[in-house]
A and B are shown apart, each in its own frame.
Chain A
Amino acid sequence: MTSTAVTQQRPRGGGYADRPSSSSLADVVEIILDKGLVIDAFVRVSLVGIEILTIDARIVIASVDTYLRFAEATNRLDLEQKGGKDLTEVMGETQEQGAKGKVGGAVKGVKNALTPDDEGDEEEEAAQKEKVEASSS
């Protein structure tokens, strides 16, 4: 396989571990939204315009949608080996795996809604690229 440049690159900082200098919104949502002391009756869960969901959505419920996405990812790899599409498409398509039914999809929706202007991490960029490619094809 020749096209491993994207994924074989070292992350920012020169090391193998990715050390973001400031947490992306996606990180913050995952880490802090359900953490910390709860002062009874005073939590105003009011991220504007977005329903807050419990992070039970982290439980993996692999669905048919998940299987189809992974299968398609192997299809794309095959094309790549033949000099086909950009690898970032594969990454973008397969990064948002683990459809978790309604709840999981909504969590993803929360994250995407929260990061419209965010540079975000590679996943967000790749997912956006993939959407652009899909809409232009």
Chain B
Amino acid sequence: MTSSGLPAEEATGELYLYGILRAGQELPEGLVGVAATVPRTTEHGDLAVIFSDLAEGADFGTPADLVAHSAVLDEVAEATTVLPIRFGTVVPSTEDLSEQVLRDPEGLLASLQRLEGATQYTLRARYEQDVLLPEILREDPELARLQQEIAGTSEDETRHQRIALGEGIVAAFDARREPDAEALRAALEPLARDLAQHDVGSADDVLGIAVLVAREDAERFEAAVEEAAERHHPQMRVRLLGPQAPYDFVEGSR
């Protein structure tokens, strides 16, 4: 079953939106969207919107919907360029599609053009604590001494020493992070059309980054990530998501 044949006028309730792409394209078969709906497209001029009909009173908003939203976008992105719309976007009627969603067709087409032929990967590198902590202690006798002091004690007994030790460990992570993150970034940059670095979420994070890669470079990019992961093993664990839709490279996303 193709999902682009039904006219939008048949949509009776609200429309849940996934993304925007060029008109005249078929969606992949077998997509499952939010609230167990089947996504389809509706076209306006040179653009098309991927959407699902939400039945009135549909139970929408579960974690499964979040996963479905990204699954739809990632599958579509394998086949063609798509601009992801933010999760949770629901418009009351089809009129809103032309009046609001597709209000700036030139801008949207320009974004699609900019992302043409590219795919996104998201990389996250974290320190392996059971490798780094001994390393940090080896390198800093003061921290090693504090660790000896707290061994076999309760938190109440050695609270001050523990805080000092923890501060020292966080400082050690901080000192390593920039050169390590830079080394990883340098391995990715040659094959990247664009990069969007994320703020780190915790002290043992090294790098979180979204990378836009030309499709023809995807294999080499994945190989470069694998090489970098091997180089930094066992100090770091590297996780690579993708190919995925260009969430980080749409104008209007952070």
Contact = CB atoms under 8 A, between A and B. Distances in A.
A38 B87 CA distance: 9
Interface in A14-34: 15-20, 22-23, 25, 27-34
B175 interface: no
A53 interface: no
Q: Which of A34, A67, A91 has the most CB of B within 10 A?
A: A67
A37 B137 contact: no
Contact of A17 (B73, B87, B164, B226): B226
A42 B100 contact: yes
Interface string A73-97: 1110110100000010011001111
Nearest to B125: A17
B67 interface: yes
B5 interface: no
A15 to B, nearest CB: 5
Contact of B203 (A33, A38, A74, A97): A97
Given A17-B225, A17-B239, A25-B67, A70 B88 contact: no
Contacts of B65: 47
B214 interface: no
Contacts of B79: none
A40 B91 CA distance: 10
Interface in A89-111: 90-91, 94-98
A55 to B, nearest CB: 8
Interface residues of A, number: 68
A51 interface: no
Contact of B166 (A18, A37, A58, A67): A67
A67 B201 contact: no
A48 B88 CA distance: 11
B63 interface: yes
Given A11-B237, A44-B88, A68-B163, A78 B247 contact: no
B247 A36 contact: yes
Contact of B241 (A7, A27, A74, A90): A27
Contact of B70 (A3, A15, A31): A31
B20 interface: yes
A27 B164 CA distance: 33
Given A39-B17, A58-B201, A18 B239 contact: yes
Contacts of B100: 39-40, 42
A28 B242 CA distance: 12
A94 to B, nearest CB: 5
A23 B150 contact: no
B72 to A, nearest CB: 11
Contacts of A17: 222, 225-226, 228-229, 238-240
B86 A43 contact: yes
A67 B226 CA distance: 32
Contacts of B204: 94, 97-98
Contact of B234 (A7, A48, A87, A98): A7
Contact of A62 (B85, B203, B226, B241): B203
A35 B86 contact: yes
The 5 nearest A-B residue pairs measured at CB: A67-B166, A98-B202, A71-B162, A16-B229, A35-B247
